Structure 1
Amino acid sequence: MLAFVSASARQGGPHDGQGSNGYVGSESCSSCHNDIYRHYMQSGMGRSMLHITPSVATPAFLRSLSIPSHSFDERKDRHFDTFMRDGKLFQSESQTAADGTDIFRDTHEIEWMIGAGINGFGAIVRRDDYLFQAPQSFYSKPRIWGPSPGYEQIDLGFNRPIQAGCIFCHSGRPNPIADTNGQFASSPFSEIAIGCENCHGPGAEHIATMKSAGAANITSLHIVNPARLSPYLSDNICMACHQTGDVRVLKPGKTYQDFRPGEALDNTLSILMVPPTRSAPPDADHVEHYYSMTLSKCYRESRGRLSCITCHDPHVEPAHEEAPAYFNGKCLSCHTERSCRLPLNARQQTRPADNCIGCHMPKRDIGVISHSSATNHRIVARSDEPFPEITFQQTLPSLPDLLHLNPTPGQENALPPLLTLLEAYGELAANRSEYVAPYLKVLGQLEQSQPENALVQAALGRRELKKGNLQAAVDHLRHALQLEPQATTFADLSEALSKLNQIEESLPPLERASQMDPFDPVIQKTLVVRLIQLKQYARAQTALEHYLQVFPQDSFMREMLARAKGASTR
């Protein structure tokens, strides 16, 4: 839950998860583009996700994952097992008592694996219509199962929701339910792995055009060829997944599925970044590929003509041993052998030999993902090359505290919509106190200009709740719920009513929040506490038992249930 924005940073997705919108799937492309299709499906993007089924191919894949696997986390006192049973893949988390019996054991089927194996694979489980990350992932370099990214420090079990903004980049055509916390349609994916249409746009009209009687005389193929776009619009396709910034915010009324190749990405979502400083330079490599490239001398001297596809052909992914020569060829399309000042005999000593990208785009460890590395796209002449001066001079007078990384061409100086800034500042303010003031300033402007917006009213309610103006908070939150029901807004309303000592009145909105977001541990735990406050002990015990079915790793709540059961037998 954001510290300031109550109505949630919208997760985005079809409201019912259905409707093709002209998408036909990559296999429909293969009949005419078979060679391209075959090569692409062997690439990292073409293998970005796999549905675990008892098919012919899947068992061979699973054998490569060191299954069965067992590990023990001493700090958490947890055992983790990944294993096969009846042709299906499972993972369990458990805690063992001194006598060897299970204190708890939580086991779930893994239905999908994320990743192409370059750094590793993540696992996804389904609970009802919700998708979650599994606590253990497979890491390719050490060939071990270990804590999934983010799990090293926090105890999430099988309860980390798969958000629409994340799965949008790891799969071909996901079907998240809009404004939910990890809920998906009954068929969660229309296409599993990243496919042709992710870069070329929906294919139905193209296929119909090419099948038409007058196809020989057509003037438009009704399909997007990124090579024929401007470099910036071509890069926008890549930026949709290869550039995170510090916060990504959907434009009002948009979902991730609204982005179409060939259009400005900023029409759908804005990518914003905390301005770098000399004491905090932009030295992260993980999913910051576009911005890093723009800081390179190659990009700056090309005046933006250098683009992602100058060096990368998504249809062709050279093998590890082929990559140096392949990318050397890309470098030599602009440079010459004499451009390199390192003597030839010294270049021959590198492993692999004479490797441009090995020196100028080295791989570096990813701090947020164990056992993983990413390529530095800043294309440095030497490893200690300082950042160009422009790095620290990129803010605009209209937006002095954020960098807008993907402005629509021709609108570089335009301020993003206030609703976009509200969500951006709200998310940043949760961990950066310097963004509280701009957040409150924008909220004050929106209070005057867009008072009938549900996000604005929910944020006003959160503001008054934090200030202790409880009745004003209740009024704003009820107004927000009339405009658009949201689980977090119901939870805030319940908190405000509780602080007004209207404990009984606080229960219905909390129950509604619990129904809307059944896997939020804070909401579910608060419901237990609220029922105890109301002395509805039987209902509290039922809610507590349900809570522990969902969150069995919560030792505090487990002890609370044991005490409750002990008291009921006296």
Structure 2
Amino acid sequence: MRPLALGLAFIVLVFGLAACLNPKGVDAGQEFLNLAPEVQYVGNETCGTCHEELYASYATHGMAQSFYPLAEDNAVEDFSGVVVRHAASGFEYVAKREGGRFVQEERRVEPDGSVSHQLTRTMDYVVGSGSAARTYLSEENGRLYELPLTWYTRDDSGGASGVWALSPGYDQNNARFSRAIPDRCMACHNGTSEYVPYTDGKYASLASGIGCEQCHGPGELHVEARTAEEEAPDSMDVTIVNPKWLSTDLRLDVCQQCHLSGEVSVIREGQTATSYRPGMPLAAHRAIFSLTNTDPNEVSVISHSDRMKESACFQESVSMDCVTCHNPHEGFQDKGPEYFNSTCQTCHAPDALQGQMASGELKEQHAPEANCFSCHMPKVTAKDAPHASFTDHKIRVVRDDAISGVASGAESELVPYYERDEGDEALRGIAYIVFARQSGGSPAFRRGLAMLESALDEPTGAGEAQFLLGFARLQTGDARGAIQPLRAAIELQANPERLNTLAQALEVSGGSASEAEKLYRQALDIQPAASDIRTNLGRLLEAQGRIPDGIAQYRAAIQEEPWQVEAHTLLGGALAKAGDVQGAAQALREAIKLEPRQADALTNLAVLLAQQGQTGEAAALFRRAVQADPRNANAQANLALYLLNENDAQGALQSARTALQINPQQQTAQQVLGILQQNGIR
């Protein structure tokens, strides 16, 4: 059986957090009426009808420019054809103008200079104001995908010329054109957008930049109140959150919803990626975990708040927060150093500083016109954004002393950021599984599974923990053991991810095919646009011999998600079974166009061509398949059979043995080996 496409978006919910325990000193902010979930968002333009000056001023802020369509009038990049190569995968990329639009082209150049693969995607949207970088998204049928190239505003030497380079994370794992943008990403990189639930990055509508309501909460109630009664109250207006009325902790949470990082962020049960509202404690919305044994001075793009809290300025101040230095209603990129230095001098008066300095050099460095933050908040390279530097928000006297306390070789631990999550092993188990999915770490996956196994010995109402326990068991080969916790999770909430995963567990364990089909269809009734689940249903129907029904599901999945490689590959195989050789070849070629390393598509197309007598192209495809995936037993076996038919006995023997090492039950390889042995070739 081919690997099953899970189609899971790891925006993970956390089970049973019994009481809404706020961190010490944090008030709930419930006096603001727009925290109620039924209050709707109205959009920036509505806010601007009354707040004209603030609306115009905010438009100059980087947050307002965080997401927008790429067009000629806002393009600043170099489209002269600079090539960026990803050495590990062999792909190279170039951003260019093409036919009145902007595209990124992917290609593979062979040693002889020939181009064996070429694929382009339109650069539809820009993510980022451009102060550090501009990343690009391509849209297809409402689905958004990140593109491999990012324009970094400054080059590595610190110059302002700009440079094309791989997008963050693509050096380690080149996702090519397939990195979908889930609602958790959009929640911070854009304003309120309408996400299609249970899909992998599909949107019914998109905002254009981070909006007023990200910090003030939904405005429907406020608009209604001010429309009915023009005069605003003299004191606090409870129809809209003004962060100035919040406690320091809750004010910080407004910024920390996007400027507080950890290795893992886990959305709590009952919350969604977009359900945080200003005025509520961030700890009630998500759990955050960080790794031990990391450099304490290592800076992330979104660690500003945590770094600020390490500063003596923050710890010894009564009311310091982000807006002490940053005006959230006004851009600052074109302002000089005095914009921030004047804030420093409200506490650190120049005359007083001069009196504290022992030497003339120090006095000069602390003159009234000196640039405070260039020394005390230096620019650093962030660990998660190459070719870009960011201000380290830990205000301090920077010393060159070596950092101690990072134990080399010691195993890192995930530790909770909030006190309320300490000692919660099931929650930590969830965090380890999420971390493993993000980092590809098998030890973390096994550790998370062990924690969940231990924490969930007794029956519990922990729906998401039960789901992830079942998911983890399925992923580690225990399909039968996955069934019980998955059923328990579905009893609590029958969402498409849970239904899909239980159906797969039943299939893999040899359970009821009719129940699996029912589960797939139930999931699709909830969300018909869940194309991965539709592909799984098609594969199940095909396995039952219901070829036309399987083909119909594959076609529907492709219509919904045209770039889904698995659906094209399976459609090709099903059409071949149905006798539609031309249609099968077309589907398989499309799969290979989308993913030139798709071993199943390569070997299936090779089989079709060999059967049609096109042995030259077939031979090349058979070899490409095993090069693309040397551990694919089917590809090795098909190559062995082809070589046998071409009278290459030794080549056939080697490929057959390789296939059987991978899968001792591979029947084609067994047959090839048997024929060779009958002819005395061993």
TM-score, shorter chain, exceeding 0.5: yes
Contact kept, 8 Å, 2:146 with 2:178, in 1: the verdict is: yes
In structure 2, the partner of 1:308 is 322
Give the equivalent residue in structure 1 for 2:305. Answer: 290
TM-score, structure 2 length as denominator?
Answer: 0.67
Match of 2:85 among 59, 73, 77: 73
- How has the CA–CA distance of structure 1 residues 211 and 514 changed in structure 2, closer, same or farther, with 3 Å as cutoff? same
Counterpart code for 1:32? C
**CA distance in 1: counterparts of 2:332 and 2:65, whole angstroms:** 14
Q: 5 Å matches for 1:208-247?
A: 208-213=224-229, 215=231, 220-221=236-237, 222-247=239-264
Moved more, 342-351 or 464-473: 342-351
Cross-structure match for 2:544: none
1:498: Cα distance to partner? Answer: 4.0
Alignment of 1:171-570 (within 5 A): 171-185=190-204, 187=205, 189=206, 191-213=207-229, 215=231, 220-221=236-237, 222-274=239-291, 276-277=292-293, 280-302=295-317, 305-320=319-334, 322=336, 324-337=337-350, 338-339=352-353, 341=357, 345=361, 354-384=370-400, 402-405=414-417, 407=418, 412-413=419-420, 415=422, 420-429=427-436, 431=441, 433=443, 436-437=446-447, 440-446=450-456, 448-450=458-460, 453=463, 455-465=464-474, 469-477=478-486, 480=489, 483-487=493-497, 490=500, 494=504, 497-498=507-508, 512=534, 514=536, 544-549=588-593, 551-554=594-597, 556=599, 559-570=602-613
2:181 is the alignment partner of 1:162? yes
Return the letter of the residue paired with 2:385.
Answer: I
Hey, what's the Cα distance between the residues in 2 that align with 1:60 and 1:358? Answer: 33
CA drift at 1:44: 0.9
Q: Please report how far the alpha carbon of residue 318 of structure 1 lies from its aligned counterpart in structure 2 after TM superposition.
A: 2.6
Moved more, 375-384 or 355-364: 375-384
CA pair 11-458 structure 1, distance change in 2 beyond 3 A: closer
Mapped contact 2:572–2:588 kept (Cα < 8 A): no
Q: Tell me the SS of whatever aligns to 2:65.
A: coil
* Greater alpha carbon shift after TM alignment, 226-235 vs 209-218: 209-218
Is the Cα–Cα contact under 8 Å of residues 487 and 502 in structure 2 kept in the other structure? no
Per the TM alignment, residue 10 of structure 1 is displaced from its structure 2 partner at its CA by: 2.6
Q: Which of 24, 32, 40 in structure 1 is aligned with 2:58?
A: 40
CA gap 1:50/1:24 in 2 versus in 1, 3 angstroms: same
| Cα offset, 1:518, TM superposition | 5.7
2:430–2:465 contact (8 Å) kept in structure 1: no
Residue pair 1:130, 1:183 contacting (<8 A) in 2 also: yes
Deviations 1:504-549 (A, max 9, x none): 99999686464789689796699699989x9999798676445335
Structure 2 counterpart of 1:95: 108
Taking structure 1 as the reference length, what is the TM-score of the superposition?
A: 0.79
CA apart distance, 1:433 = 3.5
User: What CA deviation, in whole Å up to 9, does each residue of 1:370-395 have, x standing for no partner?
Assistant: 21011111112123378899x99xxx
Report the Cα distance in structure 1 between the residues aligned to 2:436 and 2:470, rounded to whole angstroms.
Answer: 17
Q: CA deviation at 1:130?
A: 1.4
Could you tell me how far apart the structure 2 residues matched to 1:320 and 1:433 are?
A: 47
- Write out the 4+ residue segments of structure 1 that deviate beyond 6 Å after TM superposition: 349-353, 385-389, 416-419, 501-511, 519-523, 528-532, 534-543
Tell me which moved more, 139-148 or 484-493.
484-493
State the structure with more CA Rg: 2
Q: Is the 8 A contact 2:287 2:421 kept in 1?
A: no
Identity %: 24
Structure-1 separation of matches of 2:423 and 2:10 = 16
Q: 1:455-498: per-residue Cα shift (whole Å, max 9, x none)?
A: 34433334544665443334544665675354587467547744
Q: For the structure 1 residues 161 and 414, does the alpha-carbon distance in structure 2 shift closer, same or farther, using more than 3 Å as the test?
A: closer
- Higher relative helix content: 2
> Residue 300 of structure 2 contacts residue 384 of structure 2 at CA under 8 Å; is this kept in 1?
no
Corresponding position of 1:109? 122
Between the aligned partners of 1:351 and 1:127, the Cα distance in structure 2 is 56
> Could you say which residue in structure 2 is the equivalent of 1:395?
none
Contact 1:365 1:372 in 2 (8 A): yes
> Residue by residue, what CA displacement relative to the aligned partner does 1:39-92 show, whole Å, maximum 9, x if unpaired?
21111111111123xxxxx42321x21224331416244342323345432222
Please say if residues 11 and 255 of structure 1, whose CA atoms lie closer than 8 Å, have aligned partners that are also in contact.
no
- Distance in 2 (CA, whole Å) between partners of 1:43 and 1:109 is 27
Task: Supply the RMSD in Å over aligned alpha carbons.
Answer: 4.3
CA distance in 2, matches of 1:294, 1:101: 55
- Report the equivalent of 1:148: 167
Structure 1, gaps ≥5 residues long: 13-18, 53-57, 393-399
Distance 2:310 2:151 in 1: 33
Letter in 1 for 2:49: S
Q: Are the structure 2 counterparts of residues 428 and 537 from structure 1 closer, same or farther at C-alpha, using a change threshold of 3 Å?
A: farther
Residue 162 (structure 1) shift: 0.8
| CA distance in 2: counterparts of 1:107 and 1:443, whole angstroms | 45
Following the alignment from structure 1 to structure 2, what is the Cα–Cα distance between the partners of residues 492 and 178?
19
Contact 1:293-1:377 within 8 A present in 2 as well: yes
Residue 118 (structure 1) aligns with: 131
3-state SS of paired residue (1:45): helix
Q: Counterparts of 1:173 and 1:147 in 2: how far apart (Å)?
A: 28
Shift of 1:137: 1.3
* Cα separation, 2, equivalents of 1:183 and 1:149: 22
| 1:245 positional shift | 0.9
Higher mean displacement: 441-450 or 101-110: 441-450
The superposition leaves residues 273-300 of structure 1 with CA deviations (integer Å, 9 ceiling, x where unpaired) of 23x44x6435224211111111111222
CA shift, 1:37, in A, is: 1.7
Q: Name stretches of at least 5 consecutive residues in structure 2 with no aligned partner.
A: 1-5, 14-36, 156-161, 521-531, 538-556, 614-682
Cα separation, 2, equivalents of 1:349 and 1:141: 27
* Alpha-carbon contact 1:157-1:553 (below 8 Å) kept: no
After superposition, the Cα gap between the structure-2 partners of 1:127 and 1:427, relative to the gap in structure 1 and judged at 3 Å, is: same
| SS of alignment partner, residue 193 of structure 2 | strand
- Offset, 1:363: 0.7
The 1:216–1:429 alpha-carbon spacing in structure 2 relative to 1, beyond 3 Å, is closer
For 2:488 and 2:232, the matched residues in 1 are separated by 58
Q: Report SS of the residue matched to 1:46.
A: helix
Partner amino acid for 1:273? Answer: S
Distance 1:245 1:371 in 2: 21
Cα gap change, 1:566 to 1:114, in 2 (>3 Å): same
Distance 2:400 2:264 in 1: 28
Q: 3-state SS of the aligned residue for 2:144? A: strand
Q: Which residue of 1 aligns with 2:143?
A: 130
Amino acid at match of 2:312: K
